[in-house]
């Protein structure tokens, strides 16, 4: 069912910035979806798009195996915006030609606007130079019939162009990146000026339409949801609860591997404030038993994952007939990738995603159209506490994969106390929300120290803090020395059994964010 009145379709030709185009359009409160370039025209048309964006991509349009879209797309009267590769594709498919440029353009470039209509309406023309961001090795050799140049750069007389009568425009630069200072104006001119969209897609309207859709789908059936304390499962539970109230039961499995205080606050909110039905299972003993003597990271992950499914199933069975599982799948997990990124699993991530196959339940995935920042916005609109909404990501296997070596109650105590100091100091300094993740890791070694007049031989804690946009890549955070000093001093003084603190200065890749 298409519940969106207005939609822009982005055809993905494999650019690294395709998702960014989607986010920039959605920031303007217009809904858009990313589809693979090879999507059938009927599928595209069934969505009744108000406009189509052809993304950039790494190929050359003249390659024999270049990704193309059907010519029929250009026979409709739907507005089209070609970006970089998408611009060159438009040229080639409309009868012009593209060639390898002897001078490539990467990075900042200066744009001079010739035609202040269409994409460039309201922008300064004449001698004025606009900063844009380019990334291309090919260039337009010959413009197809009916097209006119709308902007030039030092390196190209076809930096932007449009059709004389049809609603087709193209830019060689990337309007979606921040370095293109007029990027937002260009996208706004396309979606509002050319496509005629209205800025109606808000989280308020999202809630209204999704609540309605969930109600229609579920009817009087029962739904369960695995609540982890993280943002995605919390927001999922909140919107499903808004739709069907007591027909939803959430199950929270306390595996004893949570950070101090993290899950408690959101559970309290759900139980007391929003009166959600939550089954709160304390399974600490069970998980400690499962992890006894285990040091291999993959075995740990498997045991924690399987243990979770076992307990969840036991609890669900007590509820009698259940028809649906609500799950916090996000849009980036749904978008079909068209590039060849060779995603070989580096670690077996345990997510509640393992549940549906086992439980054979139909899924309700209210967040599957949303990016992470939109999920946060939705959570705030649903009235969840800010503290829960801006929580850093936390892995399913929890502290189990932040303790190198065997997980025991005593080693959990050491790590938890150290970790809470990291949390407190990061929050106090205002850095908690600026970094992607910040946490403590307990190492499997002991080192010599001196405390007072005594020699000590105790544990080492590593601090890990990283900056990242999506966890695919990450750089270690340049935390101020003063903060590191406070954290180190407090851990060594306050946590019994630790006499050394080190800071992890490795990036991902080649390291990963978690240590196991
Ligand atoms: P890595 O260590 O692979 O982590 O660089 C990338 C991101 O994923 C989180 N992570 C997990 N999340 N289940 C999860 O739900 C897992 O098993 C898991 N392992 C890692 C990690 O915290 C980081 O944000």
Q: What DSSP assignment string belongs to 198-235?
A: -S---HHHHHHHHHHHHHHHHTT--EEEEE-SSHHHHH
| Catalytic hit among 130, 136, 163, 174 | 174
pLDDT number for residue 16: 87
Of 217, 118, 218, the closest CA to residue 165 belongs to 118
pLDDT number for residue 92: 95
Q: How confident is the model at residue 350 (pLDDT cuts 50, 70, 90)?
A: very low
What's the whole-number mean pLDDT along residues 37-50? 96
In the chain, % of residues over pLDDT 70 = 95
Least reliable range by pLDDT among 108-112, 229-233, 314-318, 347-351 = 347-351
**Other Cβ atoms within 10 Å of 125 Cβ, number:** 13
CB 405 within 8 Å of CB 444: yes
Query: Rg of the Cα trace of the chain?
Result: 27
Compute, in angstroms, the gap from residue 180 CA to the centroid of ligand 1: 32
Question: Over the stretch 421-446, which tens digit does the pLDDT of each residue have?
Answer: 999 999 999 999 999 999 999 999 99
Residue-averaged pLDDT of the chain: 93
CB 117 within 8 Å of CB 176: no
Length of the chain: 516
Say whether pLDDT at 72 is over 80: yes
Q: How confident is the model at residue 31 (pLDDT cuts 50, 70, 90)?
A: very high
Of 2, 4, 30, 35, the closest CA to residue 18 belongs to 35
Confirm whether 174 is a catalytic residue: yes
Parallel/antiparallel/unpaired status of strands 156-163 and 147-153? antiparallel
Q: Is the CB of 396 under 6 A from ligand 1?
A: yes
Closest CA to ligand 1's atom 6: 471
Q: Is the CB of 155 under 6 A from ligand 1?
A: no
Which helix or strand (DSSP H or E) is residue 147 part of? strand 147-153
Question: Over the stretch 155-190, which tens digit does the pLDDT of each residue have?
Answer: 889 999 999 999 999 999 999 999 999 999 999 999
Say whether pLDDT at 119 is over 60: yes
pLDDT number for residue 168: 98
What's the whole-number mean pLDDT along residues 450-466? 95
Residue ranges of domains in the chain: 7-194, 203-389, 403-503
Q: How confident is the model at residue 261 (pLDDT cuts 50, 70, 90)?
A: confident
User: Does residue 186 or residue 351 have the better pLDDT?
Assistant: 186
Confirm whether 124 is a catalytic residue: no
Q: Is the CB of 199 under 6 A from ligand 1?
A: no
Q: How confident is the model at residue 410 (pLDDT cuts 50, 70, 90)?
A: very high
What's the whole-number mean pLDDT along residues 367-383? 95
Question: Are 7-194 and 203-389 the same fold in CATH?
Answer: yes
What's the whole-number mean pLDDT along residues 52-59? 96
Confirm whether 84 is a catalytic residue: yes
What's the whole-number mean pLDDT along residues 76-103? 94
Supply the CATH classification number for the domain 203-389: 3.40.50.620
Say whether pLDDT at 342 is over 50: no
Instruction: Decide: helix, strand or coil at residue 33.
Output: strand
CATH topology of domain 403-503: GMP Synthetase; Chain A, domain 3 (3.30.300)
412 phi/psi in degrees, rounded to 5: -65, -40
409: exposed, middle or buried (C-beta count within 10 Å: 0-12, 13-18, 19+)?
A: exposed
Supply the CATH classification number for the domain 7-194: 3.40.50.880
Say whether pLDDT at 346 is over 80: no
pLDDT number for residue 333: 84
Measured CA to CA in angstroms, residue 427 lies from 31, 247, 395, 430 at distances of: 34, 37, 20, 5
Question: Cα(28)–Cα(51) distance, rounded to whole angstroms?
Answer: 14
What's the whole-number mean pLDDT along residues 222-229? 95
Compute, in angstroms, the gap from residue 151 CA to the centroid of ligand 1: 44
Q: Which two structure tokens, joined as six digits, stand for 324?
A: 């649906």
Q: Which residue's entry shows tokens 């007391």?
A: 272
386 phi/psi in degrees, rounded to 5: -55, -40
Measured CA to CA in angstroms, residue 475 lies from 398, 435, 471, 505, 513 at distances of: 21, 10, 10, 8, 9
């Amino acid at each position: 069912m298409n519940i969106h009145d207005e939609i822009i379709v982005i055809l993905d030709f494999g650019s690294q910035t395709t998702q960014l185009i989607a986010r920039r359009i959605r920031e303007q409160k217009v809904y858009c979806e990313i589809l693979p370039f090879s999507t059938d025209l009927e599928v595209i048309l069934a969505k009744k798009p108000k406009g189509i964006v052809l993304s950039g991509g790494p190929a050359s349009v003249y390659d024999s195996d270049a990704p193309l879209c059907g010519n029929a797309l250009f026979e409709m009267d739907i507005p089209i915006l070609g970006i970089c590769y998408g611009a060159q594709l438009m040229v080639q498919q409309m009868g012009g030609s593209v060639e390898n440029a002897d001078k490539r353009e990467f990075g900042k470039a200066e744009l001079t606007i010739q035609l202040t209509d269409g994409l460039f309406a309201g922008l300064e023309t004449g001698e004025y130079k606009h900063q844009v961001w380019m990334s291309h090795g090919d260039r337009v050799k010959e413009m197809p019939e009916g097209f006119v140049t709308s902007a030039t750069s030092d390196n190209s007389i076809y930096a932007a162009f449009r059709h004389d009568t049809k609603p087709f425009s193209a830019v060689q630069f990337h309007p979606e990146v921040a370095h293109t200072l007029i990027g937002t104006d260009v996208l706004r001119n396309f979606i509002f000026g050319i496509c005629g969209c209205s800025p109606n897609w808000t989280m308020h309207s999202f809630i209204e339409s999704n609540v309605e859709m969930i109600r229609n789908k579920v009817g009087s059936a029962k739904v369960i949801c695995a609540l982890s304390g993280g943002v995605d499962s919390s927001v999922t539970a909140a919107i499903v609860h808004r739709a069907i109230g007591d027909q939803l039961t959430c199950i929270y499995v306390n595996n004893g591997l949570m950070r101090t205080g993290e899950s408690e606050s959101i559970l309290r909110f759900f139980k007391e404030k929003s009166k959600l039905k939550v089954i709160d299972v304390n399974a600490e003993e069970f998980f400690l038993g499962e992890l006894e003597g285990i040091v291999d990271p993959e075995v740990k992950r498997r045991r924690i994952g399987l243990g979770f499914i076992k307990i969840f199933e036991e609890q669900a069975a007590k509820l009698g007939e259940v028809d649906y599982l609500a799950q916090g799948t996000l849009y980036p997990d749904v978008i079909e990738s068209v590039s060849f990124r060779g995603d070989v699993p580096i670690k077996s991530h345990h997510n509640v995603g393992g549940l549906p196959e086992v439980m054979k339940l139909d899924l309700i995935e209210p967040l599957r159209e949303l990016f992470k920042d939109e999920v946060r916005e939705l959570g705030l609109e649903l009235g969840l506490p800010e503290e829960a909404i801006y929580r850093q990501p936390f892995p399913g296997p929890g502290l189990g994969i932040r303790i190198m070596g065997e997980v025991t109650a005593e080693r959990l105590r050491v790590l938890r106390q150290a970790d809470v100091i990291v949390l407190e100091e990061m929050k106090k300094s205002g850095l908690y929300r600026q970094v992607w993740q910040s946490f403590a890791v307990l190492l499997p070694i002991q080192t010599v120290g001196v405390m007072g007049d005594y020699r000590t031989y105790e544990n080492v804690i590593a601090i890990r803090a990283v900056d990242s946009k999506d966890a695919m890549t990450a750089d270690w955070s340049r935390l101020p020395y003063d903060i590191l000093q406070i954290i180190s001093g407090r851990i060594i003084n306050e946590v019994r059994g630790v006499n050394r603190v080190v800071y992890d200065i490795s990036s991902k890749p080649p390291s990963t964010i978690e240590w196991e």
